[in-house]
A and B are shown apart, each in its own frame.
Chain A
Amino acid sequence: MNLTLTDEELAFRDELRTFFTTEIPAELRERVAAGRPLGRDDIVTSQRILNAHGLAVPHWPVEWGGKDWTSVQRHLWLDELQLASVPDPLPFNTAMVGPVIAEFGSQELKERFLPATANLDIWWCQGFSEPEAGSDLASLKTRAVRDGDDYIVNGQKTWTTLAQHADWIFALVRTDPNAPKRQAGISFLLIDMKTPGVTVRPIKLIDGGYEVNEVFFEDVRVPAENLVGEENAGWSYAKFLLGNERTGVARVGATKVRIARAKKLAAQVRLGSGSLLDDPLFAARVAELENELLALELTQLRVVASSADGKPNPASSLLKLRGSELQQAATELLTDIAGPDSLPVGADGIDSPDWAQRSAPVYLNNRKVSIYSGSSEVQRQIIASSILGL
């Protein structure tokens, strides 16, 4: 039993740290650290630098740009990436559709999509949720009917993140409405967003931003060669994808950066004869949050150290559940520090600082993290059934 990293792991970590802090533009990382929004080009720029050095998709199979790293190395990569405030490689590409194509796609699909997906030459979005299929994803209704060499797709997806930037969408579609189990009639289909009949409608969120969309399909003709794996086997690919999605979701590094920033900012807020940071009540809140984050980080390390085979661990539900709560706690902390200065938003030429003006929208935006990718209630259900046998 030991907590220490080996000399090789330390050298590996230092090498990554140097790379992230020297090769990814500082201006970009500062914007991430400050919680300022990024544009499409920023994310593309950053991911291409990573990809040029083989650091965009290390968890993919080696022949498609992966690194054959240990689980500890993969953890260090993600941790250092977040600590350096490097923009996340686009998760729809690197964590979701890429691994699915690499695992279940034909050789032709792999060659056609994987290099472009790793390099963000193609921007993917995720077509899973529907108006009537949220946590109960298997009730999805979007239909794909075979017609010669094509599928004809009709239906609607929603909460489609950054679909406004997307070139392609990977969608779960119902190909057999008569299957004995709902899950058995679903396929995993790749659809070009420029195909006639695809319409994207933005949804404005409570932070005032446009991040998610509705995507409508009206008689959209999709070549059958865009089917991943077997027809009607899409549910198992989706489960594989969601398992991958949850392992990186604790976002411990990103929350660490936020709390460190919160302390710096609190030291600038006047309170009595000192600063907010001097207040015992406030300090206790920070100390508690730091400790909760440490407990999560150690739990994540336990999962990392035990998952040498890279298989999804049911304990990753804990990481998603708790990781969401602490991301939310950190964004709450920041907007509470801003206090009255969090009221103005987007105002130039006033004394309320920029970070404070952004803090409430960021707080409101982060309410999403306990909803997406399996809500907290879904995670509790998984823990209760898969771990506790209830």
Chain B
Amino acid sequence: MDNAWSESEMKRERLKILLPSLREKERYVRFKVISEGPIQYSDLEAAVWNLFLDFYGELGVSELSLWLIKNLWDEKNQTGVVRCNNKSVQKVVAGLGVVSRLGDTRVIFKILKISGTIKGLKLK
């Protein structure tokens, strides 16, 4: 087909960087998981996504711009960061409050900080 691009062409293809005023404003929510025992990132990811999809539905979650940031998960301190847009911070925090189990482990989410940048979360 004429419009079928080769792999090398596809790799070169990139979106232009949006103007700051056109970009979605992001918020980062840093949380701590208080639990009966240590928990794995995979359990956290599955539980959070399932809960949000159950609670807000697919359309609702699409409006949150929700993303769990894997490389900011601190297994030792059981802290993590979730990203969302600035208009849905309250929805995301409320949703995290509804998570009561990660697998078979009972948990409580404690919100540590909400910031517009990862740097603002003061991660060490």
| Chains A and B bind each other | no
Residues of A at the B interface (CB closer than 8 Å) are none
